[in-house]
Chain A
Amino acid sequence: MTIPPNSLWVSEMTALNRRLEDRLTATDHRLGRLAQLLAAVTQLHVALDEAGVRTAIKEIAANLLGSEECALFRGPAPHQLELMDGIGVDPARHVALAADSAVVRQALSQGRPTVAPRDPVLACIPLVRHDTVTGALVLFGLLPQKSAIEPEDYELFDLLSIHAALALHHAELRALGRTEAW
């Protein structure tokens, strides 16, 4: 075996180390995103009542999405939205913003999370159960250190869309004191 000159070997090992460090960072990042998704679905479904589910949704918005200006609504259509809870919400202002928002209208009609950075509503995540929109989580703003919704946030949006709706429904059934097969 031919042993390459030292400087060439060192530079190759340095480059290899750099690639391995980059892979480790990428793996750690992905671990963090998976932990976010698992934490979110866990907290939604361990909540025993509607108040607990609402708390879990707010914690997800603040800690995982980076929004401290958001509102949780019940209702299938923009002008039928009923404010359930929120963070940093002025009911008079934010309910009107949501009702008049093209982002909210599109999200509720299509049943898909919708993002529009230049709309007064930053993002709308419809809560969907059995293909029926039952409510929405509307984000009005992000923490200063987060400049925009990121592509990876859509995984959490999709999770919330299904599991927040389901968790609220199960909480409602528990309150009514009966069970229903899903």
Chain B
Amino acid sequence: MTQTKRILLADDSQTALTMHRMILSGAGYEILTARDGQEAIEVATAHRPDLILMDVVMPRKTGFEAVRALRRQDPTKDIPVIMVTTRAEEKVVEICFQCGASDYVNKPVDGAELLAKVRSILGN
């Protein structure tokens, strides 16, 4: 029996969290949440999700800082991360990949694009 994949959603916007949770849980994924970068590190370390969807601008630690921290510790260094950005400029995309992200999506997030990227990492 295939184990349900778990996705950690890290975003300080409750609206974004609600929407992304609806899309991804509707597609059969188990959802964990975090409201800032520091909490994202703590939840990821404790629960080892299969994928992290990480907002960039968050309190306590930004998404970039959180990903760099996750990449430095053994339990979480290999968890794939999709960054959620409000800016699509080349420089921002470059920073996403430099800090260790696997992919990115731009806000406003399109459900089809999000699911396609999640499935490409986790499988159907």
B112 touches A35 (CB 8 A): no
B89 touches A43 (CB 8 A): no
A65 touches B108 (CB 8 A): yes
A144 touches B89 (CB 8 A): yes
Which residues of A from 14 to 29 have beta carbons under 8 Å from B?
25-26, 28-29
* Distance between Cα atoms of A111 and B116 in the complex (Å): 38
Interface of A is mostly: helix
Instruction: Give 1 or 0 for each of B17-58: 1 = CB within 8 Å of chain A CB.
Output: 011101100110000000000000000000000000000000
CB of A76 within 8 A of chain B? no
* Distance between Cα atoms of A85 and B23 in the complex (Å): 29
CB of A175 within 8 A of chain B? no
**Interface size for chain A: under 10, 10 to 19, 20 to 34, or 35 or more residues?**
20 to 34
A25 touches B19 (CB 8 A): no
CB of A82 within 8 A of chain B? no
CB of A136 within 8 A of chain B? no
CB distance from A5 to the nearest CB of B (A): 31
- Residues in B with CB closer than 8 Å to A30 are 111
- Residues in B with CB closer than 8 Å to A59 are 13-16
A42 touches B114 (CB 8 A): no
- Residues in A with CB closer than 8 Å to B110 are 29, 32
Instruction: Name the contact of A32 in the complex, choosing from B16, B107, B114 (C-beta under 8 A).
Output: B114
CB of B95 within 8 A of chain A? no
Which residues of A from 54 to 70 have beta carbons under 8 Å from B?
56, 59-60, 62-66, 68
* Distance between Cα atoms of A35 and B18 in the complex (Å): 8
A40 touches B15 (CB 8 A): yes
- Residues in A with CB closer than 8 Å to B19 are 32, 35-36, 38-39, 63-64
B111 touches A39 (CB 8 A): no
A35 touches B111 (CB 8 A): yes
* Distance between Cα atoms of A60 and B15 in the complex (Å): 7
Q: List 5 A-B contacts (CB under 8 A).
A: A29-B111, A32-B19, A38-B19, A56-B15, A145-B88
Task: Point out residues on B near A: beta carbons under 8 Å.
Answer: 13-16, 18-20, 22-23, 26-27, 86-89, 106-112, 114-116
